[in-house]
Each structure stands twice: as structure tokens, then as C-alpha cells.
Amino acid sequence: MSSCNGIHIHPHDITDEGVEAIKTRLRAMGDIKYIFAEVNTIFERNPVPVGILPHNPVHDVVMGDATLHVDIDFSQCRLQQVKHQSLQAGEDCFNTLKENIAPDEFTVIPWVNVLNGHFTGDLDNNHVVDYKGVMQKHWICPNGSDVIDLWKTIFLGIKKQYGYNTFLIDRIRYPDWAGEAINPDQLYTCFCDKCCHKMTAQGLNVTAIKQRLGELVALLEQKEFEAFPLAFKNDPLIQSWVAFKQASVTEFVANLKQAMHAVDAEIELWLDLWSPKYSWLLGQNYTDLTKHASALKHFPYHKLGGGADVQGLINFYAHNEAEQERMFHSFLSLFDMPYDLSYQQFKQSGYPIEFVRDMNNHVRELSQDGTFIFSGIQMWNLPENELIDAITAANTSDCNALLYYCYGWAGDELFNAVSQFNAETL
């Protein structure tokens, strides 16, 4: 496998542990080139879903508050993201990275959550709205009026202040069903004024789409689980809406890239995408998106259902074992999962380990020729042998490199397992 592997780190790793501790573990792994450092958090428990931060000397658990950890001036933007309170105290974790990481040893890539966070300013012209007309808190729309201006300003500011010019952009999609709480209505977005006007201009019947979504959701609420996948995937109205979502996300990425290149052609965007089995519903089309980016990372985390909160969605609609089994098989059918397993097996072990290889090969098939593909590797909440199995599966797939998720959540026994594996195989 490539020596271009990477690992994700969070702001609390830098502030609580320090860069020397991070570098010591990464050097021992023996295969890390890239450090993907989170610029702005999401509303997420660290680690998720349970457990403690195993080597953090300050916090057992850190709750993400969806704030920005770089002190960039975007006061002239109509849309803003709330800055983390540590910036007011003069703490700057990205400056710490800049001062303590030699570029010839590790390459820092700012990792940015784009459409999900704690935003302020003109939310009325930028927020996501579901099919019932309810604003979905903390999500902004790729068709929003001011989203590109905000992120162009922040990216250019980061380059000027820290010198980084390649960014991994995450949360470039419409919402999934999870977050601070399970809310499937988030899936049925977006119907903000901008999206509705755009759909109408393209000949889509917005009222009919909303009505059909309501009818389909009713199937799940009425426990008609088996009817949902076929009805959803074969409905022309729904497919036109899904295609609109995908075109909107692709256009957003293309426009963001164009806006930055107009003032700085050196800035490059890499993509952080959902597993392709789910991504189509959230507005991510690998084939189109990779026309605008040379590299991507996706997350085939086999034990966590590919990174999706599958159990949360199943348990939202199904309230006993028999219902949950039926709902789970409906889920597998909707997302074309070819695995013969029960819900009880899934809860115990997730998807089979071949999911890692299968998803990497599928991403290669969908992406433009020459796309550099990082396979996300689940590096927490699993035993050492399963981590090595996932690495092995990725190494025998059509990806280019690994991207471990993540530094602060992984116990030293997992770092040691990777170190030993690499010492024997690299």
C-alpha cells in the first residue's frame, strides 16, 4: 500500500495532548504522510457512540460544538460560523501545527465541515428546509445565497495565515437522518426558497414531490417496510428530486472551486464523501464530483454500517425484534447492500469485512480516471484483529491509500497493532 496514508485529528488532540505526543504515535505507525486536521467541529460526541478518549490527559469525552477553530476575519460575509471560545484566549491550534510540524515529515491538510455547523448571520437565505417546511437546524444549503462567499473567505484566510492550500471538504451534502438526535425528516430536503425556485425553473413539480415524499414516509410509519424501497427507487418524481440534489451539490463544489481559483489558482479541494451506497440519496454523485477534485476519501467503516447510524434509523421506526428485522431488510434493499445477515448479526458485528474492499472497488468504478482514493479505516471501537482485517481488505482493493479515523479515539493497542503490521509488511 501507498506511503501516502493519512490520519484525522481533532482540535482537542492538539490542545490537550500536544503535537509531540501526536508525532510520536504517528512516527511509530510508520505509514503516515498526511495529517487531516479538523478546522471546525460538528455536534458530535468524541468518541462516538460510546467510550472515552483513551490517551487524552485532560478530557475523557469531548462534545463537539460545531464551531470554527481558526481566527479568520469573515465579518463582511452575510453568513458566518461561530468561532470557538479558545480563540478569544489566544489559543490557535493551527498555528501550533504550523510551528511544530515540519512539512518534510508530515503534510497538514485542513479538514473542513462545510454545510453543517453552528452558523449565524443571514440564515433565512441559507438554511435547509424539509418537505414539511421545517428549517433543519445547523444545516445550510448548497444553493444558499452566501455559502460560497463564507467558505471562499475562510479558505483564502487560512492560506494567508498558515500557508495551507489544499483542503479536505466534508459535509458537502444534504443532511442524513442522524445528528444531535435521529430525525429522518432531515433526509427529505431541501425545500428552501432557493431550491424550490430552482426546481420549478427546471420543470420539477415541487408540490407533487412533497406530496409523494409524505406518502412514502407514511409507508414507514405504518410499518409497511417491504413496500418502501421499491416505491422509492421506482418513482419518477422521487428520482427527479434525487437528481436535483446531486446536481446541486456538484454545482456547489464546482462554483466554490471556481470562486477561489479566480483569486488563487493554487488552492485545491479534496472531497470527503459518504459511502457510495448511501451518498446518492444525500446529493453526492461520485462520477460528477470527481470532475472537480483530484482526490477523495470515503468511509467504509464496516463495523459502523459504513459510517451511517443504521441502528438509529431502524429503531426510530421499528420497536420490537420482528419489526426491526423487517425494517433492516428494507434498509438493505433500499441501499442495494448484497449481504446476507440479520439485524442481530449486524448489531453485533456490522457489515462483513469484505464491505471495505467492496466499497473501495465501487468508488473506483464510479470515480473519474486518475482519482486518488483514500479508504477511511475505522480505528476505534473495535479489536486489533478487526483493524488489521480492515487494513488488509483495503490494501487488496482499488484504493490508493488509507485514512485512519481517528487519532484521539484510538487506544494505544490499536496504534501498536498498526505499527507491528506495518513493520512486518511495508
Asked if 117 contacts 66 with a C-beta cutoff of 8 angstroms, the reply is yes
Write out pLDDT tens, residues 92-133: 999 999 999 999 999 999 999 999 999 999 999 999 999 999
Q: Tell whether the model's pLDDT for residue 308 goes beyond 80.
A: yes
Asked if 327 contacts 314 with a C-beta cutoff of 8 angstroms, the reply is yes
Place of cell 438493505: 332
Q: How far apart are CA 298 and CA 394, in angstroms?
A: 12
pLDDT computed for residue 426 by the predictor: 81
The pLDDT > 70 percentage for the chain reads 100
Helices vs. strands in the chain: H and E counts, helices first = 16, 14
Asked if 305 contacts 144 with a C-beta cutoff of 8 angstroms, the reply is no
Write out pLDDT tens, residues 368-420: 999 999 999 999 999 999 999 999 999 999 999 999 999 999 999 999 999 99
Supply the pTM of this predicted model.
0.97
User: How far does CA 212 lie from the centroid of its chain?
Assistant: 28
Write out pLDDT tens, residues 208-238: 999 999 999 999 999 999 999 999 999 999 9
Q: Average pLDDT in the 259-272 region?
A: 97
Radius of gyration of the chain (CA): 21
Question: Cis (ω within 30 of 0) for the bond into 406?
Answer: yes
CA distances (Å), origin 18, targets 12, 170, 193: 9, 25, 45
Question: Cis (ω within 30 of 0) for the bond into 300?
Answer: no
pLDDT computed for residue 3 by the predictor: 77
Q: How far apart are CA 54 and CA 154, in angstroms?
A: 32
Q: Which conformational region is residue 253 in: left (phi greater than 0), alpha (psi within -120 to 50 degrees), or beta?
A: alpha
Asked if 106 contacts 33 with a C-beta cutoff of 8 angstroms, the reply is yes
Q: Average pLDDT in the 18-31 region?
A: 97
Measuring CA to CA, which residue among 363, 293, 306 is closest to residue 337?
306
Q: Average pLDDT in the 149-176 region?
A: 97
State the pLDDT confidence band at 1, using cuts at 50, 70 and 90.
Answer: very low
At what angle are helices 206-221 and 193-201 packed, to 10 degrees?
A: 120
Q: Average pLDDT in the 308-322 region?
A: 96
Q: How many CB atoms lie within 10 A of CB 370?
A: 8
Asked if 48 contacts 121 with a C-beta cutoff of 8 angstroms, the reply is no
Q: How far apart are CA 62 and CA 58, in angstroms?
A: 10
Asked if 53 contacts 60 with a C-beta cutoff of 8 angstroms, the reply is yes
Q: What is the grid cell recorded at 80? A: 458566518
